[in-house]
Amino acid sequence: MTKRILEGQVVSSKGNKTIVVEVKRRFTHPFYGKVISRSKKYHAHDEKNKFKEGDKVRIIESKPISKLKTWQVIEKWYRCKQNYR
């Protein structure tokens, strides 16, 4: 089974080797057709403490590291508007 990869923004980096990433998603309601936005926070493992609040990152599923951490940070994530014309 493949591991999920999510993209989100770091909202907290106060823990040692831990960051909290908020992942936002948008979807259309199945009946009403209205676009709805939902968000969820994930605790992710940051081995070198190099990410801080406001950074956009990619996280991947991993084996459980602690009670709340089952995700690891892969990389800093940039999306450039010039590429999406």
- pTM equals 0.85
Quote the pLDDT of residue 85: 43
Report the chain (85 residues): mean pLDDT per 10 consecutive residues: 93 96 97 97 96 95 96 83 45
Quote the pLDDT of residue 66: 96
Quote the pLDDT of residue 15: 93
Tell me the residue type at 27: F
CATH number of domain containing 41: 2.40.50.140
Q: Both tokens of residue 79?
A: 């999306």
Question: For the chain, what is the domain count?
Answer: 1
What residue numbers bound the domain in which 34 lies?
5-84
Quote the pLDDT of residue 79: 62
